[in-house]
Amino acid sequence: MTNIERHQYDVVVIGAGGAGLRAAIEARLAGKRTAIISKSLFGKAHTVMAEGGAAAALGNVNSNDSWMVHFRDTMRGGKFLNNYRMAELHAKEAPERIWELETYGALFDRTPDGRISQRNFGGHEYPRLAHVGDRTGLELIRTLQQKIVSLQQEDKRQYGSYEARLRVFAETTITELLLAEDPAGGRRCAGAFGYYRETGELVVFESAAIVLATGGVGKSYKVTSNSWEYTGDGHALALRAGGTLVNMEFLQFHPTGMVWPPSVKGILVTESVRGDGGVLTNTEGKRFMFDYVPDVFRKQYADTPEEADRWYTDPDHNRRPPELLPRDEVARAINSEVKAGRGTAAGGVYLDVSGRLPAETIRRKLPSMYHQFKELADVDITAQPMEVGPTCHYVMGGVEVDADSAAAAVAGLFAAGEVSGGMHGSNRLGGNSLSDLLVFGKRAGEYAARYTDGLGSRPRPAAADVEAAAEAALAPLTRGEGGENPYQLHQELQAVMGDLVGIIRRRAELEEALARLADLKERVAKVGATGGRRYNPGWHLALDLRNMLVVSECTARAALEREESRGGHTREDFPGMDPQWRQVNLVCSLDGDDVRLERKPLPEIPAELLRLFDRAEMAKYLTEAELAAFDEVAGEVES
Amino acid sequence: MGTTGPGAAGSGSTKRHFRVWRGDPAGGRLEDYQVEVNEGEVVLDVIHRLQATQAPDLACRWNCKAGKCGSCSMEVNGMPRLGCMTRMSTFTETETVTVTPLRTFPVVRDLVTDVSFNYAKAMEMPAFAPPADLSPGDYRMQQVDVERSQEFRKCIECFLCQNTCHVVRDHEENKRAFAGPRLFIRAAELDMHPLDARGDRKEQAQAAQGLGYCNITKCCTEVCPEHIKITDNAIIPMKERVIDRRYDPIVWLGRKILRRDQLASASGARPAAPGPVVHVSESPAPFVPAGVAWHSPEPSPAAAPVGGDGRLPVTELTLDRSGASSPFGDDVTFPLPVDQLRYQPPSSS
């Protein structure tokens, strides 16, 4: 392994979505030589998919909004499992981060008085999402991308080269972090090892500070709205470097994503389709939701189709159709129907609005849905049912970090955005993701730069580690056709996760999943890729599989351990939320090749933040002992 | 989904004939594949099936598979398209589907091309200049004013417009001086930005980006998956204003009586590189990569119809056809007959 290209940087940012680009901007503004490593082309990151907006308490549309209200909404959404400090920083700093984007050239939609317009979104008390139509994520990524170019232009004027202090390595994948002995004890980051997708050449980045901003894990699931890049790279890199993952059992699924045809698989079908009269039926043609109304909801939900249908025109004298039950109930029902063999071949049920409303009304009420499916799949939702099922959307869990500095457990390692954990607790509110990227991306870049300031010497990756990483990266090519087929393994992994660790979980299924993952782990170790090193997707997938597998194992283990239902984790055998479990974070680490799971207490919410909530609400979440403490805190205010 | 109904996975499946260009800068050829195609699939789904079943190392870029990231640009039966937005139902069942890489950029491997040209041009594009007197949070703009720029910010950078533009398609020699439609809408976007502090976006586009090369054939608009009116809303307004100023009698007089360096300081404009003149001539001998056996004549860019004054009419009103001439030749209609399709990677030199 003599010919490995080497680069030296002060800060290396892995990932070029919102969080990565914002981190890189901050590190460069702090004067650091910074590299951005992007798995795809510059500007294609999954951030472009975000539609709704970026939540920030700007108070432009309702001046009652403030960081405190935003904080409260975020904690409620996460069912109080959030790292409170992250939620606090996020709510406080999001407005600055949004305004800053305007100085980079972003053009948000406006209010009549010319300020940034904000829209309502589920879980947010006030209109709070700064947006640009339904392409806010694209605006965010393009703005940051263009800000990076403008910094490069400054460097060109000053140093004669665009890439003097900030360089984007497009289509480059990192497969391993490199460590070195830390004079302060333990090990610290020394660099990152990877390959150029285009040429297949190997490359080493020597850097004391590394920011992970690699996004999520959705590609381990059969049905997902995530892009191919979402293979949990950052999660796995952190684990293998000695970092820890928190909250990995919490994944956000949407109950109705398209499962067929393949061209739109994973794309979300908005809930308003059901609100506007859409009904769910199984392959026997039965409108099955009537069988799934839980007792507590009997009073509000109709038990005959006749009554349900009258509700649309006369909601005051009829009960609601059961299709409008909360998301988890709908998901549970779909899940049960499919598992009972009454689902479609693709693993979904039918959602039909075509027989219910005139075509013209559907087109008027659901214009973007209509056009999306017409254009992408030639599915005419005014004429035929949609085939829907749960789709994997976002992972709340991620690298365990210090709230203020975004620093992970390994010295020199930082994480921001979807790859980090804690901020969203057990469930993320819509719109909080884009602002999360900006707030913690900036912090990660800032603290990574600061970390390098305090270093005496630059750590050097050991030659042996580089050799080992190179060998591991090239191993699938060496095995060639004799190895396991990566596409086949990927499909099997997606089936295990989709069928057994999906939206609704049970002990027996989770145990079976773990057994099958163990089997897959052995086979992934023998994966082979045919062809050469030049832009070979089979080889790339073979390398990604290892990451997907270890992250999937973390999710399955944590899901088995947490015996309650909360936010993005629903256990059919433990349907209730348990205050005892609210005090516990499940933390994963690697012990050799095995995932180790530990219970850790949550950080205690300080009194001044607790006072933002009222007692009746807290009673749902806290244990008796905690409630007594809460009363004491609340009492202090009154006395 | 017709009579079979949705969800009948596999029931609407047929074997179809695909030809996919496989190769690298050293050369390559169209490979034939018989591949299963299901109802409701798009070309990218079929490429993925080829990877999973027959050609594991078939190189193809993609990300979101929902028409939002602009990664899977390719040429399908000769037309520049996004693979994820090209439905199989747009072809007849016996039709051969031929997939080739973007022709304007050097091939990396199979369907992947080196699109760094576009990033290099973006790097030279003067960035947004924030107003000096406004703090973050104090920006005030009206919706109607931001909407003009927002149209251009819908761009997903698929580079289909760049690929289609005949100024650079098969004209490697123009790449140095010409930034392309993607960057023209970027210039227009900044020009129309209500708070951008620079006032010379149009002149910049003319002098440094090669706006003058564009002869408004609208091919870029035609292939834009975001339906951005690149020509009508960005290029033409910029050209009109530039021409206004270029032929402004006072500026003209200044040009006659001042030296170039005086002119630059007098007008406040950047000292322009020798500006590209409007591209009206027959193009130089068409660029033909070595070793290509062309069985049909090279489609050369049609010369733009110039007016009596030797200049291009800058609006469609005076043009003799709508959308001007096609760079593929006005007698060419798509899809092309399969036996006439060929692809040769452009030289990377």
Contacts of A529 in chain B (CB under 8 A): 56-57
In a domain, B348, yes or no: no
Domain membership flag for residue B6:
no
Both B159 and B222 in one domain: the answer is yes
Give yes or no: residues B84 and B188 share one domain: no
For B186, name the nearest residue in chain A, comparing CA atoms only: A146
Quick one: B108 and B119 in the same domain?
no
For residues A484-490, average pLDDT: 97
Same domain, B243 and B123: yes
> B46 and B143 share a domain?
no
Q: Provide the H-helix boundaries in A480-534.
A: 486-500, 507-524
Judged by phi (left if over 0) then psi (alpha if -120 to 50, else beta), residue B245 lies in: alpha
**pLDDT tens-digit series, residues B17-57:** 999 999 999 999 999 999 999 888 899 999 999 999 999 99
* Chain B residue with minimum CA distance to A264: B66
CA distance B119 to chain A (A): 9
Q: In which band, very low, low, confident or very high, does the pLDDT at B323 lie, cut at 50, 70 and 90?
A: low
- By percentage, how much of chain B surpasses pLDDT 90? 58
Q: Is residue B277 part of a domain?
A: yes
Least confident of A42-46, A193-197, A377-381, A466-470: A377-381
The domain that contains B294 carries what CATH number? 1.10.1060.10
DSSP string, A168-216: EETTEEEEEEEEEE-TTSSEEEEEEEEEETTT--EEEEE-SEEEE----
Instruction: Name the amino acid, one letter, at A366.
Output: L
Secondary structure string (H, E, C) spanning chain B: CHHHCCCCCCCCCEEEEEEEEEEECCEEEEEEEEEEECCCCEHHHHHHHHHHHCCCCCCCCCCCCCCCCCCCEEEECCEEEEHHHCEHHHCCCCCCEEEECCCCCCEEECCEECCHHHHHHHHCCCCCCCCCCCCCCCCCCCHHHHHHHHHHHCCCCCCHHHHHCCCCCCCHHHCCCCCCHHHHHHHHHHHHCCCCCCCCHHHHHHHHCCHHHCCCCCHHHHHCCCCCCHHHHHHHHHHHHHHHHHCCHHHHHHHHHCCHHHHHHHHCCCCCCCCCCCCCCCCCCCCCCCCCCCCCCCCCCCCCCCCCCCCCCCCHHHCCCCCCCCCCCCCCCCCCCHHHCCCCCCCCC
Q: In which domain, by residue range, is B304 found? A: 115-340
For the stretch A302-325, pLDDT in tens is 999 999 999 888 888 999 899 888
**What six digits make up the tokens of A308?**
């349900």
Residue A152 to residue B123, Cβ atoms within 8 A: yes
Q: How many domains does chain B have?
A: 2
Q: Does residue B346 lie within any of the structural domains? A: no
Which residues of B are less than 8 Å from A538 in CB distance? 51, 56-57
Whole-number Å distance between alpha carbons of B213 and A188: 54
Q: What is the pTM of this model?
A: 0.86
Task: Give the gap in angstroms from C-alpha B216 to the nearest C-alpha of chain A.
Answer: 26
Q: Are residues B198 and B148 in the same domain?
A: yes
* Residues B98 and B140 occupy one common structural domain: no
The CATH number covering residue B19 comes to 3.10.20.30
Residue A150 has its nearest CB partner, among B66, B119, B127, at B127
Reply yes or no on whether the pLDDT at B292 is more than 60: no
Instruction: Tell whether B76 is covered by a domain.
Output: yes
Question: How far is the C-alpha of A351 from the C-alpha of B89, rounded, in Å?
Answer: 23
The predicted complex's ipTM stands at 0.90
Cβ-Cβ contacts under 8 Å for A593 (sequence gap 6 or more): A521
| Domain membership flag for residue B106 | yes
Are B148 and B255 contained in the same domain?
A: yes
**Separation CA B283–CA B280 (nearest Å):** 8
Q: Kindly report the nearest CA distance between residue B306 and chain A, in angstroms.
A: 37
Tell me if B6 and A138 make a contact (CB, 8 A cut-off).
no
Distance CA A610, CA A595 (A): 35
Residues B129 and B105 in one domain: no
pLDDT tens for each residue of A123-170: 889 999 999 988 899 999 999 999 999 999 999 999 999 999 999 999
